[in-house]
Amino acid sequence: MHQVVECVPNFSEGRDQKVIDAIATAIRDTVGCTLLDVDPGASTNRTVYTFVGDPEAVVKGALNGAKAAHRLIDMAVHKGEHPRLGAMDVCPFIPVRDITVAECVSCAKQLGHLLASELDVPVYLYGAASSRDYRKTVAQIRAGEYEALATRIKTAEWEPDFGPSNFVPQWGATMVGVRQFLIAYNVNLIATKEQAHRIALNIRERGRGKSEPGRLPAVQGMGWWLEEANMAQVSLNLTDHDVTPIHLAYEEVCKDAAALSLPVVGSEIVGLVPLRALLQVAEFYIKRDGLLVLEEGQKVRLAISKLGLSSLKPFVPKERVIEYRLGSTSSGSLVRLPTESFVRAVGARTPAPGGGSVAALLAALGAALGTMVGQMTYGKRQFEPLDATIRQLLPIVHDAMNNLLPLVDADAATFKQYMDALKLPKRTAEEEAVRDQALQEGLLKATQVPYSVVKEVNYLWPTLVQLARVCNMGTASDLQVGARCLETSVWGAYYNVAINLQGLRDTARKEELETEMKEAVRVAQEGLQMVLSALAQRKNE
């Protein structure tokens, strides 16, 4: 799996389409870069570009975009609603896949050096790339904006990290840094710019200053006027959507807007958004409103609707959700194989995929059949009195299905780690010790996946018993097959753990796992019989 870095440079041009396109072309034509999104704003006079690639490619892509901007943008005449410091205003690198923050810091420093050496422009490092606390954030560095730069840049405190310590009027300065995924999120108001800004001051983390902080951590914000839409926006940067998720920011804006008797008319996400951030939104409204929404696509649609993300222009998930734009990250994934290909892969003269992957798949299929039974009972008029019960049961089996599917690949991956350990050299005593340690770790890891299968399956039995007592009896055979699959998957997991324990020298852990797995089989056998008995009883009634 190759490394993926995301780069999101913001250029100070959002009105001249020729300039916007020229920068996009420069990035798009860089070998190894995939341009995912171009989001211009006329009022802000700023365009956000989002592209991905390996570390070397994204540095080149950012440099090529900067070269185009250097030819075409003149900051001396630039005006816009958004704060800005330079033609390429900010350029963050964001770790996406198989890459560390430290490696992204290296990308930022490479770009800073290249911008200075090839374009002779000042560059400041920020975020994880900065080593100076007083100039760690964009807000600190951009204080006073472009207009104050001519004076600030000449002071020792604000000497650039790269490039000349003199004012370059046509360019200004660029901030290059490293951050986690930032969500640029704007809430639309029929209000004045001043009213929107008042709400932003209430909400953003730093509020109105140290004596009057705002309510939401990990949030930056301001209010501005969006001329092209004839309305105001509370413009927010959510720097950590696990700390302050999108829905919380939206609801807080709505609360303050209601207090001022101002209508909220939707919102927008600028650039791309992680799938998990939209699912957080969906889960909030599902819980708050007592909804039953299971499928990922439906949850995304719910989030779009609740936030009004299509109020200014259509929010198309396949274009705006980063995971959908990147496509599958599961190259070589077993669960993504066609059924025939998977079966033939199991039947091939190779040790993996083997019994562990098959056990995990059986468990996922068993949970899927339970999900199907719930779906075939819920929402039908003749079973309407059962809707409240099914609403409680269905998410449990559906979540188990989703949790079990990745274990099909995980089992094969842990087996590969063990096989790789077997191939380690053993020519010296030191090499043999390293190899032996790797083998012991590999054996222990190989028990973890089937152990996870067992835990997930055995958690389901009470739910399946309840489902058996109320489900549409036209699906009884499906639930019987599902229950049998689940019990068999526990036996499969038991056998896989047992064979790996044979070589494990950690006696205490070995005995503990043996005891737990024997108990797991007993629980599965008992659970199966309870499901079958409940169905049989209903058939005889």
What are the pLDDT digits (tens) for 168-181?
999 999 999 998 88
Percent of the chain surpassing pLDDT 70: 99
**Residue holding tokens 């190894």?**
32
pLDDT at 332: 66
pLDDT at 329: 43
Q: Give tens-digit pLDDT for 27-86.
A: 999 999 999 999 999 999 999 999 999 999 999 999 999 999 999 999 999 999 999 999
What would the mean pLDDT of 307-316 be, rounded to a whole number? 96
pLDDT at 330: 46
What would the mean pLDDT of 277-285 be, rounded to a whole number? 97
Percent of the chain surpassing pLDDT 90: 84
- What rounded mean pLDDT belongs to the chain? 94
pLDDT at 98: 81
What would the mean pLDDT of 130-148 be, rounded to a whole number? 94
pLDDT at 331: 52
Residue limits of CATH 3.30.70.670 in the chain: 183-323
CATH class of 183-323: alpha beta
Q: Give the architecture-level CATH label for domain 339-540.
A: Up-down Bundle (1.20)
326 versus 53: the higher-pLDDT residue is 53
pLDDT at 7: 96
Phi, then psi, of 167 in degrees rounded to 5: -70, 130
The CATH number for 4-178, chosen from 3.30.990.10, 1.10.10.60, 3.10.450.50, 3.40.50.300, is 3.30.990.10
Rounded distance between C-alpha atoms, residue 139 and residue 77, angstroms? 22
Q: Is the pLDDT of residue 328 over 60?
A: no
**Residue holding tokens 């092209």?**
228
Determine which one of 89, 161, 409, 411 is catalytic: 411
Q: Give tens-digit pLDDT for 178-204.
A: 988 889 999 999 999 999 999 999 999
pLDDT at 396: 96
- 3-state percent helix, strand, coil for the chain, nearest multiple of 5: 55, 15, 30
Residue limits of CATH 1.20.120.680 in the chain: 339-540
- Give residue 1's pLDDT band: very low, low, confident or very high (50, 70, 90): very low
Helix ranges, 6-136 (H): 17-28, 55-72, 101-119
Residue limits of CATH 3.30.990.10 in the chain: 4-178
Q: Give tens-digit pLDDT for 410-449.
A: 999 888 888 888 889 999 999 999 998 999 988 888 899 9
Q: Give tens-digit pLDDT for 333-349.
A: 888 889 999 999 999 99
Least confident of 28-32, 120-124, 241-245, 504-508: 504-508
- Give residue 461's pLDDT band: very low, low, confident or very high (50, 70, 90): very high
Q: Is the pLDDT of residue 263 over 70?
A: yes
Residue 411 a catalytic site member: yes
Q: What end-to-end distance do the CA atoms of the chain give, in Å?
A: 56
Q: Which two tokens stand for residue 184?
A: 């640029």
Determine which one of 16, 78, 82, 436 is catalytic: 82
The set of residues, in sequence order, having a beta carbon less than 8 Å from that of 351 and lying 6+ positions away, is 415, 419
What residues are paired with 236 via a beta bridge? Answer: 185, 221
Q: Is the pLDDT of residue 352 over 60?
A: yes
Q: Give tens-digit pLDDT for 472-498.
A: 999 999 999 999 999 999 999 999 999
Residue of 411, 293, 418, 298 lying closest to 363 (CA atoms): 411
H-run or E-run covering 140: helix 138-141
Q: Which two tokens stand for residue 302?
A: 């719910």
What would the mean pLDDT of 126-148 be, rounded to a whole number? 94
